[in-house]
Structure 1
Amino acid sequence: MEYEEELQHEFHAEKGSFLLQLRIDLFWDHKQLIKILRLMEKCCLDMQENSSLPRNWTDGFWYFSTFVEGWSTHPNFPKTYSKKYYEKAYELIFSMSSWFFTGRYPWNIKEGFDNAVMNLERLGDRKFNRFSEEDDLPF
């Protein structure tokens, strides 16, 4: 599986990983998150029909889906993006975890995942100094 090594690197919070940067540096790496979500998609597609799931993947999906939101919603965590961005990111992470554990694609249309990621990418391209009127204030 082409995604396995990279996704395990992320789930184990190894050097340079999104989780390690989030935890130690208090840095939310938008591009790295998008990459992880795409790796998670590949894993979900591979595991979708499996009646049993490997523990290394279940641990990783569970931890990622709980830690990211729990850590980054702390009042002292520096916010780089809009409130709407973080809400969409947490929703997408949760949806990926749900897909992995249930085997059910969480969107109504085939392109649902791609649309959700593109929306997050669009929101991630706009930081605080480039708010448009439809964005929520970051606080």
Structure 2
Amino acid sequence: MRPAPAHFTPHHTDNDAVTMPLRTDEDVVRLRKAARDYLVATGFGVLDQTKMITAASELARNTLRYGGGGEARLAKLSDGTRRGVSMSFQDEGPGIADVRLALTDGYTTGGGMGLGLSGAKRLADEFELETAPGKGTMVRIVKWKAF
């Protein structure tokens, strides 16, 4: 996975981060369970768990469908006054030619509802997307909880 870009606010990451492959639908199921475990361990309630698991599922499926597979990285975060969970999704696929269009509700190239990227952005506290045609895509979402 690529390191976070310089413009992304750095936070302390716990040593128990995990990287998981995203090659099959079964990998998406495993990711959803791991995401839930991280969120529960960090103290998030059911509503925030549901939001982030939904966002993670959408991004994992995008990684499979549009990026040809890749990997996800889950990490617990802390910045002194808050705890959080970071979820990153990386592929080496064709990239996204028009990010603005891809983040528009209802836009889809795969016949779905077109809420994957835009929905994930709304469900998370932080959203970052790096992509370039022919260079793959990295999406990172973060959810925070005050101590």
TM-score, normalization by structure 1 = 0.35
TM-score, normalization by structure 2 = 0.34
Q: Which has the larger radius of gyration?
A: 1
Task: Give the helix-richer structure, 1 or 2.
Answer: 1
